[in-house]
Chain A
């Protein structure tokens, strides 16, 4: 026997190739299993439930998402090689929880940016979808642990990190801001802590990913705490005028303040009947 054997197509293959493939397969599935079981705490007892959840998620996926993302969730590439619909392999449960949990997915219409709308699925269905997408590539980011979401971090540090990393798009008070071509950074008031965290680790739409090396989970917790502080503590100066800054203040001064005073001047100068 020669060292190399030709297969049906005539290509040569190393005898150890089969072994390598098997080893790789074992590592990926084993690692993935480990990751998946780490994400779901009572690992051994819940495995059956997990499989059921993934199966349920797959069913939901095929019914609601596959028309764009493809039957195997690999997205769609057009004739020019441009990715028209993104692949979901590797985006992780966190991305699904964010996109579906905020109502952005399933998308209603294509546009510069997928809009937030009424959530289309129950929490259980979202969890199923997330589990299915996670099962496609278990290395994807998972739904964050509740300990990062308690809003009890350092608000002062969070504020500073927010101004340095987030304010250029989301505005210093988190009121949102414009991006190019109709895209925008949304208002962060009223967004759930879990979704803020997931947005940071998955970088939805135009948002960059803030990996754990960039902002550690504890940094993310501080940022969330700061945003939650702003949300829970309205301005001590009175009604906030949407926190949009000097433009709204200027309009208010012209229309309400000056408008009111002009009406008063008219009243003062009116001839008595």
Chain B
């Protein structure tokens, strides 16, 4: 107890409180454990943070909105301040949304904060996912965390959609109608699920209240749980880092959480909040008063979901028209709905399962904490680019009407182009990306072996021009040579001596992944290149000096021949240098 007295004297109230807490809940231990957590510094590691902060802002602004929103579909006559709806019949939900927008102090701002934050939340989560994918941060031991993150992304979509439908305006009602149609398109169970969800025929009188429970309770609770797991796993796994000197698979190089990251992250939260506030205060989002209350008869042009559902809407729009229905086994099969559903679910399954698939192909059971540079895994990067392109075409598919009107094109042709693009562009993206990665890798090799182009052109005495290459520093070089080199594996027989079909598939996938590869520069190659280069580098200035003196000399020919022996050396070194890239 004597220590308590001492610290109090020294540190005053703060230290006293800290000590009080430490003696009761062991704050010092927790702080020691978490406060000394090391995080590496890179901008791309902060994208997940943007999503996290957007979610916090969603919780705060959403709580504000719950104070005023009434999730009931009882018919009322609007008598608020918005002129063009005065006297109109509408649901209480829509009327209360109008009240939030026009009569609650700060209501419209908070509605817009909430909606912009929602768009940003899913967007930032998506970008974070792309970062994780393209840098290979999903590899062992983080496969499960990838799945958790994927679940968070899907939950984000669910949270967004349930919220989008709450105001019960024409736009969101149209969106719900599409969802209702999709559910009904599922054979056998569809109609039952739809009537269960809507409490009878669409739209019924229950859906808003039900979506409200999901939106403010179930979905956010699930997001919180998955978020906790997600962050907990980051702590367990420690953060990944990019390659560099001293950065290995068994360490983390960076700054401690306390005080550096607590300050940085705390400040960053307010920056994200500030950006969202600024946008919400200056840009309209979802002007529900324009759409009017939901009425199943009108459908407005330009009815689109929020962006994160857009790719599914696009899939619906791109479904071929001649595939509408088919009678089989006593049921009507709406392929124009089933096909997009199947494509969407398959796409999500592939995304969720990718880490396991890649681990199976490489057979790599090691832990990976050093991230890949996207170019060093050309096939994965290309597969990712193809996936992004596929998603992007579906996404653009949801805006076919806007593309057609704003760029003065034919809607039918935009649609057909999108249908073709859905199959052609991902393949194109695959090959272009893979070639780009391989070229970048070749360039890296060249830089390591022969140094950077300095831009200094030297004319040799015999008239040849050479550019002086400067060797790269060790720091950069480390980054360029430190990556794993997988080789295609052959199908091996199992214990019974049989080559299984799975083994064959794996072998062919392995070939697909690692057939074209650029091996990292080895020490031997580096030494060999440097050996040649030392001569070249030493010779070059000599040649330069000679060349300069040659210029000065009145008879140009004579000194030039004198310089010839010196000039020969780099000339001899050149073929060797040229050979090096060919080794790949």
Does B associate with A? yes
Task: Show the binding face of A for B, using Cβ within 8 Å.
Answer: 112, 155-160, 163-164, 167-173, 175-182, 184-185, 226, 229-230, 235-241, 243-254, 256-258, 260-262, 264-266, 268-270
Taken together as a complex, chains A and B put the C-alpha atoms of A169 and B410 apart, in Å, by 15
B43 at the interface (CB under 8 A from A): yes
Which 8 A-B pairs rank lowest in CB-CB distance, beginning with the nearest?
A: A250-B307, A177-B301, A237-B284, A253-B119, A178-B401, A182-B410, A172-B300, A155-B84
Whether A247 contacts B120 by the Cβ 8 Å rule is no
Task: Show the binding face of B for A, using Cβ within 8 Å.
Answer: 41-47, 49-50, 83-88, 101-102, 108, 112, 115-116, 119-120, 123-124, 127, 170-171, 264, 268, 271-272, 275-276, 279, 281-287, 290-292, 295, 297-308, 310, 398-402, 404-405, 408-413
Given A236-B108, A261-B50, verify A159-B300 contact (CB < 8 Å): no
Which residues of the other chain, A, contact B264 by a CB distance below 8 angstroms?
A: 268
Which residues of the other chain, A, contact B400 by a CB distance below 8 angstroms?
A: 178
Query: Smallest distance from the beta carbon of A188 to chain B beta carbons, Å?
Result: 12
Taken together as a complex, chains A and B put the C-alpha atoms of A8 and B403 apart, in Å, by 65
Kindly identify which residue among A177, A243, A268, A269 contacts B401, using a CB–CB cutoff of 8 Å.
Answer: A177
Whether A238 contacts B300 by the Cβ 8 Å rule is no
Whether A260 contacts B275 by the Cβ 8 Å rule is yes
22 residue pairs A–B, Cβ–Cβ below 8 Å = A156-B83, A177-B405, A180-B410, A230-B84, A236-B102, A245-B171, A246-B306, A246-B307, A247-B307, A247-B399, A249-B286, A252-B279, A256-B279, A257-B123, A260-B275, A262-B47, A264-B275, A265-B44, A265-B47, A265-B268, A269-B42, A269-B45
Query: Smallest distance from the beta carbon of A204 to chain B beta carbons, Å?
Result: 17
Given A163-B292, A249-B119, A250-B306, verify A239-B282 contact (CB < 8 Å): yes
- Of listed B276, B298, B301, residue having the most chain A CB within 10 A: B301
Residue of A nearest to B174 (CB): A172
Whether A265 contacts B410 by the Cβ 8 Å rule is no
- Of listed B84, B108, B305, residue having the most chain A CB within 10 A: B84
Taken together as a complex, chains A and B put the C-alpha atoms of A251 and B85 apart, in Å, by 29
Whether A249 contacts B307 by the Cβ 8 Å rule is yes
- Of listed B286, B302, B412, residue having the most chain A CB within 10 A: B302
Whether A167 contacts B298 by the Cβ 8 Å rule is yes
Given A247-B398, A268-B46, verify A241-B283 contact (CB < 8 Å): yes
Query: Smallest distance from the beta carbon of B464 to chain A beta carbons, Å?
Result: 39
Which residues of the other chain, B, contact A155 by a CB distance below 8 angstroms?
A: 83-84
Which residues of the other chain, A, contact B283 by a CB distance below 8 angstroms?
A: 237-239, 241, 252
Kindly identify which residue among A163, A184, A261 contacts B124, using a CB–CB cutoff of 8 Å.
Answer: A261
Which residues of the other chain, B, contact A247 by a CB distance below 8 angstroms?
A: 302, 304, 307, 310, 398-399, 402
Taken together as a complex, chains A and B put the C-alpha atoms of A214 and B119 apart, in Å, by 41
Whether B120 contacts A253 by the Cβ 8 Å rule is yes
Residue of B nearest to A249 (CB): B285
Which residues of the other chain, B, contact A235 by a CB distance below 8 angstroms?
A: 284, 287, 290
Whether A173 contacts B47 by the Cβ 8 Å rule is no
Taken together as a complex, chains A and B put the C-alpha atoms of A175 and B401 apart, in Å, by 12
Given A167-B298, A172-B292, A235-B284, verify A261-B83 contact (CB < 8 Å): no
Kindly identify which residue among A168, A241, A245, A258 contacts B299, using a CB–CB cutoff of 8 Å.
Answer: A168
Interface of A is mostly: helix
Whether B301 contacts A168 by the Cβ 8 Å rule is yes
Whether B102 contacts A243 by the Cβ 8 Å rule is no
Taken together as a complex, chains A and B put the C-alpha atoms of A144 and B179 apart, in Å, by 43
Kindly identify which residue among A112, A168, A253 contacts B116, using a CB–CB cutoff of 8 Å.
Answer: A253
Which residues of the other chain, B, contact A164 by a CB distance below 8 angstroms?
A: 295, 297-298
Which residues of the other chain, B, contact A180 by a CB distance below 8 angstroms?
A: 410-412
Which residues of the other chain, B, contact A243 by a CB distance below 8 angstroms?
A: 287, 290
Residue of A nearest to B395 (CB): A250
Which residues of the other chain, B, contact A163 by a CB distance below 8 angstroms?
A: 170, 291-292, 295, 298, 300
Whether B116 contacts A245 by the Cβ 8 Å rule is no
- Of listed A168, A176, A236, A261, residue having the most chain B CB within 10 A: A261
Which residues of the other chain, B, contact A181 by a CB distance below 8 angstroms?
A: 410-412
Whether A237 contacts B409 by the Cβ 8 Å rule is no
Query: Smallest distance from the beta carbon of B544 to chain A beta carbons, Å?
Result: 32
Given A239-B283, A254-B307, verify A261-B275 contact (CB < 8 Å): yes
Which residues of the other chain, A, contact B290 by a CB distance below 8 angstroms?
A: 172-173, 230, 235, 243
Residue of B nearest to A168 (CB): B299
Which residues of the other chain, B, contact A159 by a CB distance below 8 angstroms?
A: 84-85, 88, 292
Given A164-B295, A182-B408, A257-B276, 4 more pairs with CB closer than 8 A:
A177-B405, A243-B287, A254-B307, A265-B44
Whether A236 contacts B300 by the Cβ 8 Å rule is no
Kindly identify which residue among A184, A240, A246 contacts B305, using a CB–CB cutoff of 8 Å.
Answer: A246
Taken together as a complex, chains A and B put the C-alpha atoms of A262 and B47 apart, in Å, by 7
Given A159-B292, A172-B291, verify A184-B405 contact (CB < 8 Å): yes
Which residues of the other chain, A, contact B281 by a CB distance below 8 angstroms?
A: 238
Whether A160 contacts B88 by the Cβ 8 Å rule is yes
Which residues of the other chain, B, contact A229 by a CB distance below 8 angstroms?
A: 83-84
Which residues of the other chain, A, contact B84 by a CB distance below 8 angstroms?
A: 155-156, 158-159, 226, 229-230
Taken together as a complex, chains A and B put the C-alpha atoms of A269 and B110 apart, in Å, by 30
Residue of B nearest to A242 (CB): B406
Residue of A nearest to B309 (CB): A246
Query: Smallest distance from the beta carbon of B301 to chain A beta carbons, Å?
Result: 3
